[in-house]
């Protein structure tokens, strides 16, 4: 699943529209619960080097909250990294380049939504 597909899925499934909160980072979109306004997903384009990846350029990722008991096992999967710029004990960064299966991404998105409501 790519960035556009994920943004559309979040909008349709959770009725959440990405907010651009940071003028300095126009590609960052924050998705919040309608009631408590807590973030459950942050989609952004970041330099590959921020995740320890080789090569120049940027990669689209989504930061998702994860159960701390499960976080270590997910980090072992391709395309899943310790969260960039978030608490690494509770958040993951997932590459939106097709490396991670849509099923895994949806599972993590649902978990993030549940953990933050």
| CA–CA gap between residue 77 and residue 85 (Å, rounded) | 20
Task: Give mean pLDDT, residues 12-30.
Answer: 92
Secondary structure (3-state) at 39: strand
- Structural domains of the chain, count: 1
Q: What CATH number has the domain bearing residue 89?
A: 3.90.1150.30
| CA–CA gap between residue 89 and residue 33 (Å, rounded) | 21
Specify the pTM. 0.93
φ/ψ of 112, rounded to 5, equals: -60, -45
Give residue for tokens 């933050």: 116
The mean of the pLDDT values for the chain is: 94
DSSP letters for 64-84:
EE--HHHHHHHHTSTTEEEPT
Give residue for tokens 């126009």: 26
Task: Give mean pLDDT, residues 87-105.
Answer: 94
């Amino acid at each position: 699943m790519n960035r556009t597909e994920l943004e559309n899925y979040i909008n349709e499934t959770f009725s959440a529209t990405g907010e651009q909160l940071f003028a300095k980072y126009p590609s960052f979109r924050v998705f919040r619960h309608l009631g408590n306004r807590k973030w459950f997903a942050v989609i952004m384009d970041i330099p590959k080097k921020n995740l320890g990846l080789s090569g120049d350029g940027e990669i689209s990722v989504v930061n998702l909250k994860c159960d701390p008991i499960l976080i270590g096992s997910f980090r072992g999967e391709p395309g899943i990294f310790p969260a960039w710029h978030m608490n690494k004990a509770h958040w993951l960064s997932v590459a939106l380049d097709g490396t991670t299966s849509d099923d895994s991404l949806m599972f993590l998105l649902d978990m993030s939504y549940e953990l933050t409501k």
